[in-house]
Amino acid sequence: MTSLVIVESPTKARTLTRFLGKEYRIEATMGHIRDLPEKRLGIKIEEKGNADKQYDFLLDYQIIQGKRQKVAELKKMAEESKSVILATDPDREGEAIAFHIKELLRGRKKTKTKEMNFSRIVFHEITQSALKEAISSPREIDMMLVDAQQARRVLDRLVGYKLSPLLWNKLGKRWLSAGRVQTVVVRLIVEREREIQAFKPEEYWLIDVLLEKLIDKVSDLSAKGKMLIRLVEINGVKADLKNRKEAEKAVEDLKTSAYQVENIDEKEVRRYSPPPFITSSLQQMASNRFGWSAKKTMRTAQSLYEEGYITYHRTDSTNIAQDAISMVREYVKEIYGTNYLPVSPKIYKTKSKVAQEAHEAIRPTNMKLISEKDYDRLDETKRSDLKVFDSSLGREVQLLYSLIWRRFLSCQMNEAIFDQTTILILARKDNSTNKYLLKTTGTKMKFAGWLAVYEDMETQNNNKDADTEENKDLPAVSTDEKLKYIDIYPQQKFTEPPARYTEASLIKTLEEKGIGRPSTYAPIISTIQDRKYVEKIEKKFHPTDLGIEVVDFLVKYFPVIFDISFTAKMEDDLDEIANGSQVWVSIISDFYGPLKNKLDKVFKEADRVMMDLGTTDEKCQKCGSPMVIRLSKYGKFLACSTYPECKFTKNIIETVGIKCPQCGSEMVVKKTRSGKQFYGCSNYPKCQFAAWKKEDIK
């Protein structure tokens, strides 16, 4: 008889088939097979009757619609097998799937429980060695992880199914929904928008001066003898020029000042490699570098994991297995030489308080499998032992694999070394007491180190900052040397409001504040867009009128539940359940009691919210009454103000004040079926010109 191995996806099943012999039969559940019912709460809440009002929660799990045949097939296979091996993913979700599979397959009869031999195996990469080790050390299902997953599911159910009807009642829209974490995420975006709207820019000035070495001090009068320096101090105080008058006074003095080198500071600067990817850092980097959504990144990483190319992609840990460290160090030594190899392996400390060190960072399973682009960069003499990544899997899979591969390679390489020179120059005008101190900094790479294979996106962004003077060659000067004035460049600037969130910056903020967990970021961000609470415009999140109203209502009446720190504490509580230091029923009970009391009160006392989206000058084409702005789950539209007597409606056309470059018609704002905004010609379909960004309309 064979052993039945059960996994979630057909791709994972196919990959396991490559490594496991004929004594194993591998089947996929096609995802979850049992869950709470789709259209009702599915939780029976019973009050215990004790003094502190604790509750019991009985969960009504049901086979998911369309999965009954699959469950029947698995039951039959299990009865024909000598054992059932549950090989679902190594996280809480995977543990819960394994639990539900076992519950369904063993049935309710005690005799069947004894007949069926269940075991749970866990592996973080799909390789021959990892599977061999997992099968040789099976374990029972970890009920602490299952309880943590159930607790999250129940929490989200209680908030969604108890608060959503309240929103329907008070905001008058039956398609609204409330989410425990998603509401807090929308709150962050709403609060950022209000910061931007309340922001008042303040004027300030920067002054750069172009200087040159004196002719008798330099043989080459090329640009190497020149340098651009910035005003940093006036009379020993930081230069803080608030307006044009102050700037012009400094400019007049600097034009006629004598310049002399005050100080030269030369030092060696080391730039250390970033740690290997975890889920959140991978999502942020893919967003910054490729413009990908978190959802797309996780979908692509899932493919790489299930094909056996990378380790498990849902992880908080930067831990690296010893054999993987040996593998990457051998590669560094062979391809780059001992100068690039640290004396001892680099160990990265995991920031997350709850990351399990048994888990690993995201890394390739085979360092000698490289992307075509990385292969082409190598000298031909070093390619013989390498294998090129399968291009048939698609460009996106290759891009993400290369990103993960290079990050992992770089994390075990020596630091990059730069020579950094900072020059301070004193400017002083004859017969004036004013002293001006100017500064410039230049860096020159001395040793590439890890930058030879991987350049951090954050480093690139910092070096592109127009207000920094990094990464430039400076002429050789000496202390007390006099310099010649060439020109001056005063720049009027204004302080800028905080930037709207991108996917990368939102994920970074969620991680910093402890809201959600990396595995939940992608579905949360997708949900708040699907619900029309926020919209992404040119890769930045803007709250919709609906999102603002929902957040304001929920925060007003449930300030504790949707408080950022409270949400973070709930995540800590869920982690404690997973660690076995808390019982899930008591955590949920402590949450539900105050929620129930507050909910009953708000239903009775809160006024209905009328969303005032404004009126227009347009008249109804049917009855001539004024048209007003209304909102549906598909967005804003125009409706007759006499509704329901007159039911005329009309789409809102938002122009952008730019003419179509092909036909001269007005460009208007449009949306794709998935809700993504773009700019299209109003003369469509006669003219099909479209652009994602305003600056691309040319």
Q: What is the pLDDT at residue 650? A: 85
Asked if 312 is an active-site residue, the reply is yes
Q: Could you tell me if 92 and 148 are in contact, meaning their C-beta atoms sit under 8 angstroms apart?
A: yes
Domain boundaries, the chain: 3-141, 148-199+515-605, 203-272+417-494, 279-414, 615-696
CATH for 279-414, options being 1.10.3080.10, 1.10.290.10, 3.80.10.10, 3.40.470.10: 1.10.290.10
Contacts of 22 (CB under 8 A, 6+ apart): 2
Domain 148-199+515-605 sits in CATH 2.102.10.10: no
Give me the residues paired with residue 44 across strands. 58
CATH for 3-141, options being 3.40.50.140, 3.40.1160.10, 3.20.20.70, 1.10.3720.10: 3.40.50.140
Q: What is the pLDDT at residue 462? A: 44
Q: Could you tell me if 679 and 697 are in contact, meaning their C-beta atoms sit under 8 angstroms apart?
A: yes
DSSP 3-state helix, strand, coil percentages of the chain (rounded to 5)?
40, 25, 35
∠ CA 336-338-343 to the nearest 5 degrees? 130
DSSP 348-369: -----SS--TTS--B-BS-TTE
Q: What is the pLDDT of residues 302-314, one digit of tens each?
A: 999 999 999 999 9
Strands 237-238, 258-271: pairing kind:
unpaired
Distances, alpha carbon 264 to alpha carbons 219, 420, 439, 638, in Å: 22, 10, 10, 67
The C-alpha atoms of residue 33 and residue 244 are separated, in whole angstroms, by 69
Q: What is the pLDDT at residue 50? A: 65
The C-alpha atoms of residue 233 and residue 239 are separated, in whole angstroms, by 5
Q: With a threshold of 0.75, does the pTM exceed it?
A: yes
Q: What is the pLDDT at residue 467? A: 40
Q: What is the pLDDT at residue 456? A: 43
Q: Which residues of the chain have pLDDT under 50?
A: 108-114, 217-223, 356-357, 456-470
Q: What is the pLDDT at residue 147? A: 96
Q: Could you tell me if 208 and 230 are in contact, meaning their C-beta atoms sit under 8 angstroms apart?
A: yes
List 312, 401, 436, 592, catalytic entry = 312
> Class of 203-272+417-494 per CATH?
mainly beta
| Closest listed residue to residue 417, CA positions, set 476, 328, 472, 339 | 339
